[in-house]
Every structure is written in structure tokens, then in C-alpha cells.
Amino acid sequence: MSKGIYVINTDKLSNLKEKLEELRKYSLRNKLKSITIVLVTKENESKWVPEVRDLILNNLVLGIRVYALSPNDESKLLRLISEEASKGYIIKEYIGFDRPCNLVRRLEELGFKER
């Protein structure tokens, strides 16, 4: 069994709940033992509580960790992602980012791929 980490730009996604459900199904199908979700958002993180809570409540199999951080604090964001990514994640993906941005370049340096 393996682990997956997903970095999601919630400001670029129209339906976070749908994307979280897709990740949940993908994780179960691939027998991931845990997933970490890093939500990158300029909005108040409490906006995402219902969607994330539903994902956790509907998913009793996996260990799930969720972080919500502002893209304005890029050093804190990259530090958290680097620490998490160093814990042996097999699947490292990012979702909803513009290709030429600095954060995407740094994620790709850490072995992340676009989903």
C-alpha cells in the first residue's frame, strides 16, 4: 500500500467537492493507505470545511490530512509540502495551477506531476 499527496489550487477549481470525490475514489481503487491534501486558497479556509469534512466522513479507510494555506505565504507553503513529500509518498500531484508559475516549478522539482 502506498501514500498520495495532492496540492490543489482551490481558487482555480469550479467544483472542489467533485475533485475531492474523484481523489477519494482514485485512492480507494489504488489502495492508498493515506492521502495528504494541501489546499492553496486566497479565501477563508473555513469555506472549504464542508467539502473536506464530507470527504473525511465518507472515507473511513484512509488516513487523511488536510492543510489550507494562502499562496501569499509561499515559503511556508513550500516548507510544508517539502516536509510532507519527504515522507515517502508514491503519488505526488498538483491540480489547478497555471503552468508557468514559480510554485509549479518548485513542485515539479519535488517530483510532483500535474493531474
For residue 86, give its domain range.
2-114
What pLDDT digit, counting tens, does each position of 35-94 carry?
888 888 887 666 666 767 676 666 655 677 778 788 888 888 889 888 888 888 888 999
pLDDT tens digits along 9-34: 888 777 877 888 888 788 888 888 88
CATH classification of the domain holding 102: 3.40.50.11100
**Over the Cα atoms of the chain, what is R_g?**
13
Compute the distance between CA of residue 38 and CA of residue 70 in angstroms, rounded to an integer: 10
**What residues have CB less than 8 Å from 88, skipping those under 6 apart?**
3
What's the number of domains the chain is made of?
1
Residue 99 has pLDDT above 80, yes or no: no
- Residue 94 near residue 115, CB atoms below 8 Å: yes
